Amino acid sequence: MSSLLDQLFESILMARQRVYAVAPATPLEEMNANLPFRLFLKREDLGPIKAYKWRGSYNRMAMLTEAERKVGVVSASAGNHAQGVALAASLLGINARIYMPRPTPQVKQEAVKRFGGERVEIILHGDSFDEASAAAMTDVAQSGRTFIHPYDDLDVMGGQGTLADEIVMSGQGPFDVALLQIGGGGMAAAAACWLKRQYPGIRIIGVEGNGQACMTAANKAGHPVSLEKADIFCDGTAVKQAGNLTYELCRELIDEYVSVTNDDVCWAVQSIWEANRIIVETSGAMGVAAALKLGEKLRGKNVLAVLSGANIDFGKLGYITRNSQVDGASRHYIRLCIPEKPGALLDVLENAFGEENIIEFQYGKTDKTKAWFTIGVAAGEQALAGLAEKLSQLNIQWENVTGHEDVSFRVIRYEASLLANPIFLNLDFYERPGALHDFLLLLRNVADCGNICYFNYAYTGERIGRALLGIDFPSEEAGRNFLKGLPDHGTGFRSCRAVNGPANERLRG
């Protein structure tokens, strides 16, 4: 056991009396999911700032001398650390200047003001955390204020380590494995230090996001190095360079590393919600993402993950929903090339996609003889392989376009000059197997030579699916006849109506 590790353990020990004077312990809660292992969640989302960061900032600021308190402190953060510093400033009566990047969402700025009140001054500087941090360090040099580091400080880590003390005191251990997310490495080092003293057999797994694995980079180089850039989807762990102290500690404490993708994290956020009705921020779900990824490798074990925070921008939930799984299956996007003729899509759906869970259609007519349909399906690898085999047997040209930018951004282009007499329909159909097929079958029966020229549908998780559907007709009369014969509701669909617009008004007569 190194001297540095002994110092960290002592810092956690001394931090307990300070931290517990401010807030009670956050609970440890088992995840109510059908997993091959027991997964316990440390609910840091229930702390005073809805994240664990306040523990470290408060502990460090509580240790300032009277002279240092009078001068004040400086920090830099775009998220939870800023809120922790603000809370400590208010509770301890210390003035704080917090540098935040200019793009910091207003909701986060307001949270810092709410916790800090008159004790906190927010300075917006630069377009990134690095620029804001550089400005903060310049301030420290000029003002003589104390810099409150978000992770590379033993006393900050000491405060963060109190969450591990609460885990031990919960009485729900011992634990076989702890999955600890890593940004700069402060929380992981502190929690691992305490847990390994209490549970000598525990295995500590460091969890890093793809595109922000600064600790793995440091381990490879033998010292902390700066990443060229850090993916910011998991913004709470988006750190370009590990700390000097945290690197040395994690090198001694972390047994292995696991990386998770943004899609892994989206699935974890969804899984936590579905199992325990908890919404966490993306970085807060990384430990659970790693647990789900490891799966059978953890069978029979008692596993621990930290829900490190819940300060998520509401708008981010839309992206998470679109990139999470559907009914436990991953999203895949297949682009087909089929004849541009009436009934071609229905034939393909009946012969190749009969058993697949279709979650998306993207199509716009761009060619007179060929149609490129993008169809999204929720499927496991085995089901996807079966679909690929069926398409090949039918001699249908196809490609997997999962992750392609035009698909991700839903760019649906169509060539208006190729449309003769289009009618656009607003369709609401029931989200159940076969409902959309039934409606397309109805179209085949009531449409006189009409052909689909546009199809825009995406699964939203509602009981009703909503689609914008375009059908082109060779004549105005055929279009009018179609509108007259189309029921406004029927088997499989709740409503179908022509969209208001010049083309549809003309065909209504």
Which residues touch 317 (CB under 8 Å, ≥6 apart)? 279
**DSSP assignment, residue 65?**
-
What distance in Å separates the CA atoms of residue 394 and residue 344, rounded to the nearest whole number? 13
Please list the residues that pair with 399 across neighbouring strands: 335
What distance in Å separates the CA atoms of residue 55 and residue 153, rounded to the nearest whole number? 13
Indicate the residue type of 364.
G
Distances in whole angstroms, Cα of residue 60 to Cα of each of 9, 11, 12, 436: 15, 10, 11, 59
- Strands lying side by side in the sheet with 451-458: 397-400, 331-339, 370-378, 357-364, 451-458, 464-473, 421-430, 493-498
What distance in Å separates the CA atoms of residue 225 and residue 218, rounded to the nearest whole number? 6
Tell me if 352 sits within 8 A of 144, measured CB to CB: no
**DSSP assignment, residue 353?**
S
Indicate the residue type of 322.
R
Element housing 60 (H / E)? helix 54-62
> If DSSP codes are grouped into helix, strand and coil, which group holds residue 423?
strand
> If DSSP codes are grouped into helix, strand and coil, which group holds residue 153?
coil
CB atoms within 10 A of CB 144: 12
**DSSP assignment, residue 49?**
T
**DSSP assignment, residue 202?**
P
Buried b (16+ CB within 10 A) or exposed e, 126-138: bebbeebbebbee
Which of 466, 436, 332, 449 has its CA nearest to residue 391?
Answer: 332
Locate the DSSP E strands across 3-110. 28-30, 38-43, 73-76, 96-100
Tell me if 164 sits within 8 A of 12, measured CB to CB: yes
Please list the residues that pair with 204 across neighbouring strands: 178
State the catalytic residue, choosing from 11, 42, 50, 53.
53
Element housing 471 (H / E)? strand 464-473
What distance in Å separates the CA atoms of residue 9 and residue 12, rounded to the nearest whole number? 5
State the catalytic residue, choosing from 240, 308, 324, 365.
308
Indicate the residue type of 224.
P
Annotated active-site residue 53? The verdict is yes
Element housing 334 (H / E)? strand 331-339
What distance in Å separates the CA atoms of residue 308 and residue 170, rounded to the nearest whole number? 17
Residues with active-site annotation: 53, 308
